[in-house]
Structure 1
Amino acid sequence: MKVSFCNSWFRAKKCPTEMWSEDQARAAHEKGLPYTVLVGAVECPYCFLEVAGNAVGVSFLDEHLRESLSYDFQEVESGVLFLTMATHRNFDGDKDRVLSGTSYIFGQDGAVSIRREFFNPHKLETATSSADVAANYSPRPEFGYYDDLVRVERQS
């Protein structure tokens, strides 16, 4: 897995800001400071991770570099992350306009809140469910080891 490091991913311009060396990113990781990991080619990454303190965000990009799927992980105990939210977005063809999005908010007890939002015309649907959330746990990554977090399929 090819990785590069930067300060952040500029969503509107679809490009990294301020590329960092591995040493810069490692120093940020060790101090618990935010940094971004690009997975794949810098110009068209498969995904990027925003690593900060006790949280990690993973954004999967489509062929137009739009965030089609994102995962939010929170540290729930020392060294253990839990996937608290997954969001899937549907776009208007090859435009950047989001037509709809569905968010799944996971509780460690297996409770799931589902929120589906349509934007034109605006409509919001909500539901609740339950799920086996065993696959939502992930070890907090050591620097450079992000494979477990960049899996689209989270089922065991």
Structure 2
Amino acid sequence: MAIVVNVNGPGTDSPNQNLNLNDSRSNKINGLLSQHLIFSNAAILHCVDIDDIMYCESVNRMVSIYGAQFEHRNIANLRLGDLYKLLPSDRFIRVGRSHILNRHSITCLDKREARCWLAWRGQTREVQLYARNVKILEESLL
């Protein structure tokens, strides 16, 4: 089942606000989208496979979702805390106010440089963390 998240800013009206995955036009889509998040706003519909997510990062009221099969998806008007509530807690770790990491993709943590390396489905990425969040990540991995 897909989870539809409306990311329109406050006070905006959009034809996507009432997107219903159970109506007759979207039943074909609904059958294909198990374990996906769908983010909608007035102009764009983003579909993200939860299993493909390596990490998420929040910068200036914009959440970027990075995956193994895609470079990144920028989702405006989405709070990282709201996204974290939608993700499986056994697979994802919230690290401070700026990052959510896929626990299974973490391969290395450099505590001195506050960097983390992720590898997932043949892709690797380096994530720069805030120094104060390194201890949070270390404790959650042990």
Q: What TM-score, normalized to structure 2? A: 0.31
Higher strand proportion (structure 1 or 2) = 1
More helix by share: 2
Larger RCO of the pair (alpha carbons < 8 Å, separation 6+): 2
